[in-house]
Amino acid sequence: MQKSLVIGASGIVGGYIVEQLVCSGQRPQALSRDLRQSDHVDWLQGDLTDPAALRIGAVDHLYCTAEIGLLADALPHVAMPSLKRVVAFTSTSIVTKIDSKIASERVMLRRLSDGERRLGVVCAQLGIGWTILRPTVIYAEGRDGNVSRLARLIQRVGFLPLMGNGAGLRQPVHAEDLAMGAIAAAASDAAVNKTYALPGGEVISYREMAGRIFDALGKPRRIVSAPPTVWRVAFGLAKPFFPQANVAMGTRMSKDMVFDPGPATNDFGWAPRKFRPQFDLRG
């Protein structure tokens, strides 16, 4: 039986990885900043910024949903001879937003890109195989900061304004599918030392993505196309729902952000679900 460590285990994708490992019969170690307890999981309290303080047992596989640069810095301090594979998550935004007009986005994405490079170097030095996974729009009903925040906005105001017609293409991907993909990638020799885009199971427009959120909420599709000036006013009103968002969201609604799932499908059987969110409407 393999032994695994999940870093970022209290997050959406990390939590699903822990669940999948437990369902497979493992008792994984799970790292979180907060002290946690649950059956069939060995929780560790700690932070990648202080790797010397971590007390990690021997593991074969390491999964990381925390910032990849922190993992690259910490790995020499926590890696044991038993560690053979590292699977780390970043984002397709490295490709689509690296030249963003928003300075903070450029800084963050260049840090991610540099973290990917450094993790590859560190793993090579330590003799560890690595795989980097770049998801697209991640969702998990009621828990994510993308689809679920749109759902909360729709629930509150009953409509959704789009800048332009929202024709830009998207591939929303469920966090549970990402967890299953990470575990499959860790078990695949073909995925060693490679980077993959992990898009969802179908390509749909931003407008259709929004429409399916309305459907999942049992509400009529009230999607309003607005010129940039009107959309900016609406965005200002919606800002409390998207504290990390910026005005560039509007222009991107018409931009295609599509990635080829073929390499991941060929190398570790990537087969995510189509975008049909299901929200708990009770109460």
- Ranges of each domain in the chain: 4-140+172-201+259-268, 147-167+204-252
- CA atoms of 109 and 96, how far apart (whole Å): 10
Q: Is 215:208 a contact under the CB 8 Å cutoff? A: no
Closest CA to 88 of 37, 38, 58, 48: 48
Which H helix or E strand runs over 207? helix 206-216
- Whole-angstrom CA distances from 152 to 19, 27, 137, 144, 282 are 26, 35, 17, 11, 14
**Residue 12, C-beta contacts closer than 8 angstroms, at least 6 positions apart:** 138, 140, 143, 144, 175
- CA atoms of 245 and 225, how far apart (whole Å): 19
Q: Which fold has domain 4-140+172-201+259-268?
A: Rossmann fold (3.40.50)
- Specify the length of the chain in residues: 283
Burial class (CB within 10 angstroms; exposed 0-12, middle 13-18, buried 19+) of 240: exposed
- CA atoms of 162 and 24, how far apart (whole Å): 43
pTM of the predicted protein model: 0.93
Residue pLDDT tens, the chain, 283 long: 789 999 999 999 999 999 999 999 999 999 988 888 888 999 999 999 998 888 898 999 999 999 999 999 999 998 989 999 999 999 999 998 888 878 888 899 999 999 999 999 999 999 999 999 999 999 999 999 889 989 998 998 899 888 888 999 999 999 999 999 999 999 999 999 999 999 999 999 999 999 999 999 999 999 988 887 777 776 676 667 666 666 667 778 889 999 999 999 999 999 999 999 999 876 5
Provide the pLDDT for residue 246.
62
